[in-house]
Amino acid sequence: MANIEPRGGGWRLKWRLGGRRDGAPQSLTFLPPPGDDPAATYQDVLAAKAIVEARLHGMTREQLRRALWGDADSARPLGIPTFGEWVAMWETDRRKTGDVQKDTLDRYVQVLEQRAMPMLRHMHLTEITQDTIRDWVAFMREKQRAHRTAKNPDGRPLSPQTIRRAHAILHQCLSQAVPRYLPANPAARVGGSSRHAVGLPKVTVHEAVFLEPWEIDRVLSNCSDRIHDLAFTLVRTGLRLGEAVVLRREDVVLNGKKPHIKVRRALKPDGEIGPPKTAKSRREVTISPELVEVLAARASGKTSDGLLFPAPHAGKVRRKGDPPARDVWEPNNLRMRYWLPAVAAAQRCEAHPPPTPEKPARGPVRKLRIDEVSRCTCDGRLNRIPRIHDLRHTHVSLLVEAGWLPKRVQLRVGHASFKITMDVYGHLWDLGDDDRLSAMERLLATAADEAA
């Protein structure tokens, strides 16, 4: 519902786009001209309020202004869809062409619905300018929240990564409207600039953890039997978790001159099983005799479509058409119930354990939480908190140390491009910096001697 409030001798009409609580706030102020009857101006406010409510609050401030004081039909540019209409057209076209994987497109549409629609849904494409994008970014930074719960209904501000990801998806969506509806993409950089002018927040890139061999052993020795072999496989193949948890007996070749794993499918964020992340992710990963032994034990007695690493109980993750009892790991469950407890156990020192929880009045003493670890500096205690994905990073670091060339690493881990491999792992290769530094020091020493 639109509201009227006094403002500077006049009145302000306020509403939210779409009438939604998370809709972008809109307002228009009405001031009576000098000498005019304020009551007449108030009637204008009431008329404007009626227009906004008749259109179900689906008008921006500028659209209402044009409807009141300009050509009312100009509030809808001829033949130009609203952003909400365009997103539906864009999604339909993408699904027809199939140039984006279904699960990826589903995530794109979900992000647009959550982040962009509250402010942009009712705006026509020609109304979206760089200033609009700047206001939208500010709206996300200041108004939108994530992870709302019953205990924390206000949630927390969106992370820089979330905001930049939403902007990237909006950029991709609007680019398809050029030149049909837009002369240029308002979300693009201007004039070839290397930076956006819309106030995107800076991102602190997560620093990958490259475990040392003794740290790997420490973590694996504390892993439950339910995930030990899975973690062992991840650190020795560099597979993504979503690729490993859906491996079947038929996906591994354990005999012959070149035992290997055939990566042909992956678990998607929506719980379905589909093709790997990119075309380059569809690959064959050679495996060592040590891993052959582990996988052979896992494959023993299984049918060709039997999972090598099933969850300990029937999971909630199902592919359409599959039986309801597919034992596929739910990644967050694996992380919270098995991986983080193993990491926490590796962080505890036998000589300096964390305080034992107090015994309650009734019942057993609770188990240590994952944040209750040792704080000593003793050797042999894990001092870092690796993610499951860091086993993939660790695998690459071991390949580099073993002398693998960058291109071979890219093909093994399934990166879409060589650039990704170098951006993430390029610093691991020895490019002769030590020799060059020594040469530089010799030049400086020679120059100093000559000056003396």
237: domain CATH number is 1.10.443.10
Residue 216, token pair as written in the block: 């790997």
- Do 49 and 16 reside in the same domain of the chain? yes
- Do 314 and 435 reside in the same domain of the chain? yes
Report residues of the chain scoring pLDDT below 50. 72-76, 314-316, 321, 323-325
* Angle (CA) 343 349 353, round 5°: 105
- Do 249 and 347 reside in the same domain of the chain? yes
Of 45, 75, 105, at which residue does a domain stop?
Answer: 75
17 CA to centre of own chain? 27
The backbone torsions φ and ψ at residue 55, rounded to the nearest 5 degrees and listed phi first, read: -95, 20
- Do 243 and 277 reside in the same domain of the chain? yes
- Do 222 and 337 reside in the same domain of the chain? yes
Going by C-alpha positions, the residue among 308, 324, 214 that lies closest to residue 265 is 308
How far apart are alpha carbons 211 and 354 in whole angstroms? 23
67 in Cβ contact with 75 (< 8 Å): yes
Give me the number of domains the chain comprises.
3
- Do 124 and 243 reside in the same domain of the chain? no
Going by C-alpha positions, the residue among 64, 81, 66, 74 that lies closest to residue 28 is 64
- Do 38 and 104 reside in the same domain of the chain? no
Phi-psi region of 301 (alpha: psi -120 to 50; beta: other; left: phi over 0): left
- Do 104 and 169 reside in the same domain of the chain? yes
Spatial CB neighbours of 382, under 8 Å, sequence gap ≥ 6: 215, 218, 219, 343, 346, 347
Q: What is the greatest pairwise CA distance in the chain?
A: 97
How far apart are alpha carbons 421 and 416 in whole angstroms? 9
Q: In the prediction, which pLDDT does 437 show?
A: 79
Residue 212, token pair as written in the block: 């040392």
How far apart are alpha carbons 234 and 287 in whole angstroms? 11
- Do 335 and 423 reside in the same domain of the chain? yes
- Do 14 and 112 reside in the same domain of the chain? no
Q: In the prediction, which pLDDT does 78 show?
A: 56
Q: In the prediction, which pLDDT does 24 show?
A: 80
Cis peptide preceding 183, ω within 30 of 0: no
- Do 60 and 143 reside in the same domain of the chain? no
pTM of the model: 0.72
Query: How far from 111 is each of 210, 333, 403, CA to CA, in Å?
Result: 32, 24, 41
Query: How far from 302 is each of 248, 250, 295, 307, 309, CA to CA, in Å?
Result: 9, 10, 11, 8, 11
Q: Give the residue numbers spanning the domain of 26.
A: 3-75
- Do 226 and 276 reside in the same domain of the chain? yes
Where is 252: in which H helix or E strand?
A: strand 252-253
How far apart are alpha carbons 61 and 266 in whole angstroms? 46
